C-alpha cells in the first residue's frame, strides 16, 4: 500500500515538537522576516531582483541571499533596499511574545544623519 504523503503544515507541526528544532526555527525568524518584507515590497512595486538590485546598488546574488533568508542584511543594505522601494526601515525591540516593550521607542533608519554615518565608514 503506498505511503500517504503529509502536508507541509502537518510535517512542520511534528518537527516543531522537538525542542532543538523549534529553537533553531525561532532563531531563524529574523532572516525570514527580512526576506518576506523585501519580497513583498519588491512584488508590490513590480520589480525584478535585477531591477531592485540595480536601484539599491547591491549585487543581485546578495539580494537573492536576502530573499532566500540565507543572511540577515546589514542596516546600510536594508536602508538602500528600502530607499529603492520607496520605504523606510524601522527596528523595534519586543518581548519574547513579540509584543512591543513599554517605553522603548522604535528606531527609524534613514535620513541625512544615517547617510552621513554610512559614508564615513
Sorted by where each begins, the domain ranges of the chain are: 9-120
For residue 118, pLDDT over 60 is answered with no
Name the more confident of 119 and 48: 48
Burial readout 94-118 (b: 16 or more C-beta within 10 A, e: otherwise): eeeeeeeeeeeeeeebeeeeeeeee
Query: pLDDT tens, 29-75?
Result: 888 988 999 999 999 999 999 999 999 999 999 999 999 999 889 99
Q: How many CB atoms lie within 10 A of CB 119?
A: 7
Q: Mean of the pLDDT values across residues 18-34? A: 90
Confidence category of residue 1, pLDDT binned at 50, 70, 90: low
Q: What is the CATH number of domain 9-120?
A: 1.10.260.40
Q: Rounded CA gap, 61 and 83, in Å?
A: 19
- At 94, is the secondary structure helix, strand, or coil? strand
- Please state, in angstroms and rounded to a whole number, the distance separating the CA atoms of residues 53 and 76: 14
Q: How confident is the model at residue 110 (pLDDT cuts 50, 70, 90)?
A: confident
Tens of pLDDT along 70-109? Answer: 988 999 999 999 999 999 998 888 888 888 888 888 888 8
Amino acid at each position: 500500500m503506498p505511503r500517504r504523503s503529509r502536508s507541509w503544515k502537518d510535517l512542520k507541526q511534528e518537527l516543531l515538537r522537538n525542542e532543538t528544532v523549534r529553537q533553531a526555527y525561532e532563531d531563524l525568524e529574523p532572516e525570514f522576516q527580512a526576506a518576506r518584507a523585501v519580497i513583498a515590497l519588491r512584488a508590490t512595486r513590480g520589480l525584478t531582483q535585477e531591477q531592485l538590485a540595480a536601484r539599491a546598488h547591491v549585487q543581485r546574488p546578495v539580494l537573492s541571499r536576502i530573499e532566500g533568508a540565507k543572511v540577515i542584511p546589514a542596516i546600510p543594505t536594508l536602508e538602500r533596499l528600502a530607499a529603492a522601494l520607496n520605504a523606510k526601515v524601522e527596528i523595534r525591540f519586543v518581548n519574547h511574545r513579540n509584543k512591543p516593550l513599554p517605553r522603548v521607542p522604535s528606531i527609524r533608519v534613514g535620513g541625512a544623519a544615517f547617510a552621513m554615518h554610512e559614508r564615513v565608514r
